[in-house]
Amino acid sequence: MKGFFILFMCSVFVSSEIYSQNILNVRSLSMGNTSASSSYELDAFNQNPANILNQRLNKKSAVYFNILTNAGVLTSSNFLSLNFYNNYFGEVNNGQGRALTEDDKQTILRDASDQPSRIFVSARLLSFVLNTKKSGSYGISIDERFSEKIKVSRDFLNVGLFGNLINSTYNLSGSENNTYWVRQINLTYANSLSFKNNKTFDELAFGVSVKPQLGLYYLNTRSNDLMVTTNNFNQIQGSGSAEFLYSGLTNDNNFKYSLDNAGFGVGFDAGINARIKNVSRNGYLNLGLSITDIGFIKWDKNTANYFYDGNFLITDITNRAQLDSLKDKIKATKTSVTSFTTTLPTTVRFGASYKFTSSASKSSLKKEIATIAVDYVQGFNEDLGGSKKPSGGIGGEYNITDVILSRIGFGFGGLQDFAVSLGLGINAGPVIFDIGTYNVESIFKPKGTTKFSAGLNIKFKIN
């Protein structure tokens, strides 16, 4: 198990793109989630398509690629840490789970109530960038993206852990589950324009992406106002209802992996990256702007509405009619619906970066010394795991040697209100490693952090 986990965590490190609004790529991850103007080649997919033609100064190559070496997972929660898992959901001995004590239950109730837990899993099956000298850069990537958001209301958890009390009202309405699984094909083109006579811009790169979206599964909590009340005779009355919208490869809610799809749509990304002229002889200032995930997915396979009627009254648990009625309601009423459409999590990024270089007389002899970048990220909807909560970041990269680069950053807003990020890069010829984390707690308290994130990216280049 431990070996599996280490392998799994390695794959997390390999992740260069986990969640487009929060996790950019390993390099930007460790620089406070900045990417709009500072991201490079493969890492620029889904961030700013103009940047796929960006490469390190004087380290240019014709081709970058990786195949099945990029997958990841990220959890974002206020309680779900490795310690939490080990303590309450880990094996004690001989396959036996832990017998929760009253203190354990109180801890879980205190920490996990009303706290949304997000799980993002991505797997990049393939990515490839071809840089041409005359016609710009061409890129393709295929990604699997799974996202789940679960929130359990305090009352729901309270009943589950402790049981019910008399003369009480339990509000279950805060509980929700939203799950999506989408396969995305990203086709990107980027090029640059030089402005020799322009006083402001030295160079302007632009890029566009067309992204066919293959939806595999969709489950969304449409509404939930379930309430349960008890009286002093222990009678239990439910009210309200819960409704879920579903589409998937199977009509029985069982996951299966397939090349088939339950929904189809298309998304678009566009971005620019401009280099400002005459800022300094020893550096370059770049401004980047991108808008990603403009588009939709139309779900039309096994589309159904699941309705749970919460109106019940249990006055006698030996009454078969009452229990049968309750069972019927628990089973939910499945109603086939016509196709429905969800939008992609449209996001705008704006950023600036300044690259410090050595003071060689010819630009071809200049070396990168350091980079400072700032980004502002704004989402426009909450579909498919998106968030409208803005986030920003500031980060820096320092070249310790020609091979080793250190990175640091600070992130603000978004799913994590504040984070300190760290990272390191290794340019080992045709193989490039990036390692980093968005949350420094992941390094120093890996078992205790509830916002674990890290990345290790292995990519290859051919000159």
Cβ proximity to other proteins, 101 vs 364, nearer residue? 101
Give the nearest distance from C-beta 136 to other proteins in angstroms. 34
**Of residues 64, 45, 42, 460, the one with CA closest to residue 292:** 45
Cβ proximity to other proteins, 102 vs 252, nearer residue? 102
Cβ proximity to other proteins, 161 vs 208, nearer residue? 161
> Which 3 state secondary structure label does DSSP give 41?
helix
Is residue 215 within 8 A of residue 246, CB to CB? The reply is no
Give the nearest distance from C-beta 4 to other proteins in angstroms. 8
Is residue 25 within 8 A of residue 457, CB to CB? The reply is yes
Cβ proximity to other proteins, 342 vs 442, nearer residue? 442
Is residue 429 within 8 A of residue 452, CB to CB? The reply is no
d(CA 161, CA 158): 5
Give the nearest distance from C-beta 324 to other proteins in angstroms. 9
d(CA 50, CA 348): 14
> Which 3 state secondary structure label does DSSP give 380?
coil
Give the nearest distance from C-beta 82 to other proteins in angstroms. 6
Q: Give the interface with other proteins as residue ranges (CB under 8 A).
A: 1-2, 5-6, 9, 82, 85-86, 88-92, 95-100, 104-105, 159-166, 230, 233-236, 314-320, 400-401, 403-404, 424, 426, 435, 443, 446-447
Is residue 262 within 8 A of residue 248, CB to CB? The reply is yes
Cβ proximity to other proteins, 402 vs 417, nearer residue? 402
d(CA 29, CA 32): 6
Cβ proximity to other proteins, 225 vs 324, nearer residue? 324
Q: What are phi and psi of 87, to 5 degrees?
A: -65, -40
Rounded (5°) CA angle 167-168-174: 165
Cβ proximity to other proteins, 104 vs 111, nearer residue? 104
Cβ proximity to other proteins, 375 vs 434, nearer residue? 434
Cβ proximity to other proteins, 36 vs 121, nearer residue? 121
Is residue 276 within 8 A of residue 200, CB to CB? The reply is yes
Give the nearest distance from C-beta 3 to other proteins in angstroms. 10
d(CA 439, CA 76): 11
Cβ proximity to other proteins, 142 vs 159, nearer residue? 159
Give the nearest distance from C-beta 107 to other proteins in angstroms. 12
**Which residue is listed with tokens 């704004």?**
378
Give the nearest distance from C-beta 367 to other proteins in angstroms. 15
Give the nearest distance from C-beta 9 to other proteins in angstroms. 6
Give the nearest distance from C-beta 6 to other proteins in angstroms. 5
Cβ proximity to other proteins, 79 vs 88, nearer residue? 88
DSSP calls for 204-229: EEEEEEEEEEEEEEEEEEEEE--EEE
Give the nearest distance from C-beta 459 to other proteins in angstroms. 17
Give the nearest distance from C-beta 81 to other proteins in angstroms. 11
d(CA 407, CA 372): 10
d(CA 156, CA 228): 10
d(CA 362, CA 440): 39
Q: Beta partners for 295? A: 267
d(CA 418, CA 159): 33
The pair of structure tokens assigned to 393 is 């970041």
Rounded (5°) CA angle 103-105-108: 110
Cβ proximity to other proteins, 162 vs 418, nearer residue? 162
Q: Beta partners for 159? A: none
**Of residues 55, 128, 16, 158, the one with CA closest to residue 456:** 16
Give the nearest distance from C-beta 372 to other proteins in angstroms. 22
